[in-house]
Structure 1
Amino acid sequence: MIITRSPLRITLGGGGTDLPSYYENHEGFLIAAAIDRYVYITIHRTFFDEFIVKYSKLEKVSHAKELEHPIIREALDLVNLDGRGMEITSMADIPAGTGLGSSGSFTTALLKALHSLKRNIVHPEELAEQACHIEIERLKDPIGKQDQYIAAYGGITCFRFQKDGKVKAWPLAISEETRHNLEDGLVMFFTGYSRRAADILKQQDDQTKSKADAGAMVANLHYVKDLGLRSKDALEQGDLIAFGQLMHEHWQYKKKRSGAMSNPQIDEWYDLAMRNGAVGGKLIGAGGGGFLMFYSADKTRLRHALLAAGLKEVRFHFDFEGTKVLAQ
């Protein structure tokens, strides 16, 4: 049996500039961090010719081309496997649609498992690019590249999305003390809302490409990219209060990109957090639901207020291993 895992992620600055409609003209930049919440894939050989796939549904087919699950179907085609005599199962610590990049984590974990089955050695860059090829080029999802890349690489990583489609990745130059303080000061709460990131990202993508609407959206993303670069500087200088304030500023600009980015209940919870020790925060991911994340120098007060409001906290640490094989 082959078991792989791929980390989920949080974005620390510059989110939204990793879509092709933006970076192909202006270059994108963001900082992402992998966390110790994972998507798992298992593959094992069976004694039957049929292909069995277990996720939120159960599929039994004679060939991978017959699968309903688009990512699994395309991944097997990419690595030239038909699936016969195989069983693939997926599990996750946190459900999809909550803003932590689960689709990119799923695709990288799946590809890692398939390459392991074929005894292929695959570098994180190649793994991430193959995952992007499946989701963006083959399946035409209007999404960015950060989820696949941070899942493959792990760590707290800076990414530059170049106009030619290539991605440059390097570790954030953060001190160990600052990293521990950052991890200690970040708190994350589930809002209870879930959504498809592609729905909100498609609106951003369409506006960026539209002659009528592109100006405002591109200007917004220019500013968000600058906030990402300023967040990088603040983190590398160990100024976590400044980083938290930039998170707050980022959230204000993020909400301007779409009316579906927030709702009155999320705004109420955010305001409650800001009155109870949060320096700044935002919804993680494309918006519309999922997790609210805050940086706070007074976590006890913040935690007490949001737990009393009915939110559920999910605690985490950073992951520095990226997508990996657990058993083979």
Structure 2
Amino acid sequence: MIISKTPIRISFFGGGTDYPDYFKKHGGAALSTTINKYIYISVKKLEVFSEFKYKIFYSKLENCNEIKEIEHPVIRACLNFLNINDSIEIHVIADLPARSGTGSSSSFTVGLLNALYSLKGKSVSKEKLALDAIHIEQVILNERVGVQDQLAAAHGSLNFFELSKESSFSVNRIKINFKRKKELEENLLMFFTGVTRYAHKILEEQVSNTKNEKINPDLSKIKSMVNKGNEILSSDISLDAFGLLLDDAWKTKKNLSKSISTSFLDDIYSRAKNSGALGGKLLGAGGGGFFIFYVNKKYHRNIRKSLSDLTEIHFNFENDGTQITNSTNYD
């Protein structure tokens, strides 16, 4: 049995500039970290006497005899992409809900590819896993997705990504000492809004606005925040500047699409700000999912009281990206 363990990410700055319609014209950038919340995928070859060739367990159960019968688009695409002809069983377990802005769909793709490559006896680089995941999502499945989520899931850690017009991507570790990184981690509070959504519905408007360059000034500002965020983290100035930059980023992000926020979400943000948060944002495309807030420790109790109707998610940063945690084959 092969088991892959792939983290989800918290995106801070640069979202929207990692879509091909933007970065192929202007270049893009993003700043994010992965956290210790994971998607676990196990794959194993089935015995010849199994009734079905493909047994797949996620939020539903699929028993199929041909790849084309598989309903899950990413699983179907990955099996075809890697020419998997063996009878196999796939199980998926996630720490957090899907469709909640944590890049879990790309973490799933990266993790599945990692597990399937391992099943074939191949060890591939994190760069290849990210690029293969991008190809599957953008080219094979024609999904409206960017590239930062796949890069984050594969490489892990606190990074800023540079995306060239020629579609080359660089992954750069933030130069931050342990004590300062721990302070950042401790000042970030994460809450689940209770709302899940399909990102493509929000992204359709955003991508349309990008193509007609309606939101280019906002995207240019969002891209510049990546460098500002990196400068703050890499320096010795107060991390409060990072929180204030998040506030500016959230205000700018809401200009990208009318669907990014709602009165319900705006109320959550206002309550957090009034209780001591310096800034924050919805993770991912928006519309629901998780809020992240930058809050000094002395205000943590106030925030938790103000947002007691929401579920808080406790987390730590992680540094490893996708991993194979078990690689026992019984062939």
Q: TM-score, normalised by structure 1?
A: 0.96
> 1:85 Cα deviation (Å)?
2.0
Question: Residue 164 of structure 1 corresponds to which residue in structure 2?
Answer: 166
Quick one: distance in 2 between partners of 1:43 and 1:121? 15
Question: Residue 145 of structure 1 corresponds to which residue in structure 2?
Answer: 147
> 1:67 Cα deviation (Å)?
1.0
Quick one: distance in 1 between partners of 2:84 and 2:46? 15
> 1:177 Cα deviation (Å)?
1.3
> Which amino acid in 2 is paired with 1:228?
V
Give the alignment of 1:193-212 within 5 angstroms.
Answer: 193-210=195-212
Quick one: distance in 2 between partners of 1:208 and 1:257? 9
CA contact (8 A) 1:98 1:195 kept: yes
Give the alignment of 1:1-328 within 5 angstroms.
Answer: 1-47=1-47, 48=50, 50-82=53-85, 84-210=86-212, 214=213, 216-238=214-236, 239-297=238-296, 298-307=299-308, 310-328=309-327
> Which amino acid in 2 is paired with 1:282?
K
> 1:65 Cα deviation (Å)?
2.4
Q: Deviations over 1:82-106 (max 9, x none)?
A: 3x42101111001111100010000
Quick one: distance in 1 between partners of 2:209 and 2:116? 37
> Which amino acid in 2 is paired with 1:227?
M
Give identity over the alignment, percent. 39
Quick one: distance in 1 between partners of 2:76 and 2:180? 42
Quick one: distance in 2 between partners of 1:68 and 1:323? 25
> Which amino acid in 1 is paired with 2:199?
A
> 1:306 Cα deviation (Å)?
1.0
In terms of mean alpha carbon deviation, does 274-283 or 193-202 score higher? 193-202
Q: Deviations over 1:196-219 (max 9, x none)?
A: 112212221122113xxx1x3111
Q: How many residues align?
A: 321
Return structure 1 stretches of 4+ with deviation > 4 angstroms: none
**Structure 2 residues without counterparts, runs of 5 or longer:** none
Counterpart of 1:181 in 2: which secondary structure? helix
Quick one: distance in 2 between partners of 1:258 and 1:206? 10
Quick one: distance in 2 between partners of 1:95 and 1:312? 12
> 1:240 Cα deviation (Å)?
1.1
**Structure 1 residues without counterparts, runs of 5 or longer:** none
Q: TM-score, normalised by structure 2?
A: 0.95
